[in-house]
Amino acid sequence: MSAHCCAGPSHSSADPRYRKVLWLALVLNALMFAVELGASWSSGSVSLLADSIDFFGDAANYAISLAVLGMAASTRSKAAIFKAACMGAFGAFVLGKAVFNLSAGTVPEPITMGAVGVAALAVNASVAVMLFRFRTGDANMQSAWICSRNDALGNVAVMLAALGVFGTGSAWPDLVVASVMALLALTGATTVLKQAGRELRHSALHSH
């Protein structure tokens, strides 16, 4: 549910069916990013905002996979740095929004939260199934499985937060889930930034 998500090309990039599936995954993730942003705005839910970070990150991953296939490793690292920086900033924004909602006493509307959480899970599951037959090799299968599982956990956390808000009439379940997800995004972004920085230094070293 954070900056880890791995949509890197594992399959021959020349396969037009694979490119088509990547495009579809990109569109679906970008769409769900917009839906969660809008629903977070209309329902006042911060956990929906936090969950949208993952759709943003995954959409960016599919875009990077489509755009930089066959390009220099340094281009890929720069794209990863840009994505991670966006996700880190987004995570910080979500934390700020949680504090703001807490002080404003905003209680989110749980029906929208729950419904969008279910839709998000359905989209993530469909994308996982679509990409499944293009996965090759044990390591690749495993990382794809971890990503899908983390995405699903995020969606389920939003649903549980909705249930908690519905049951207690308080904003706390939403704020706790949102803060955990935002912190995970921040940690994930830091890890990616460190690793990409190392890769960039490495490739700079070898180009001279």
CA distances from 107 to 32, 111, 177 (A): 23, 12, 14
**Does 58 contact Zn ion by CB under 5 A?**
yes
Task: Please select the residue that binds Zn ion; options are 36, 51, 151, 174, rule is CB under 5 A.
Answer: 151
8 A C-beta contact, residue 7 and residue 135: no
Token couple for 122:
């359905």
Closest residue (Cβ) to Zn ion? 5
CB of 147 to Zn ion, least distance (A): 5
**Does 177 contact Zn ion by CB under 5 A?**
no
Nearer residue to Zn ion within complex by CB, 171 or 184:
184
Contact mark string toward Zn ion, 35..54, x via CB under 5 A: -------------------x
Cα–Cα distance for residue pair 59/35, rounded to 1 Å: 13
Nearer residue to Zn ion within complex by CB, 63 or 171:
63
CB of 54 to Zn ion, least distance (A): 4
**Does 184 contact Zn ion by CB under 5 A?**
no
Number of residues in contact with Zn ion under rule CB under 5 A: 4
**Does 131 contact Zn ion by CB under 5 A?**
no
8 A C-beta contact, residue 172 and residue 63: no
CB of 6 to Zn ion, least distance (A): 8
CB of 151 to Zn ion, least distance (A): 4
Cα–Cα distance for residue pair 39/48, rounded to 1 Å: 7
CB of 149 to Zn ion, least distance (A): 10
Task: Please select the residue that binds Zn ion; options are 5, 79, 171, 196, rule is CB under 5 A.
Answer: 5
- Chain residues binding Zn ion by CB under 5 A are 5, 54, 58, 151
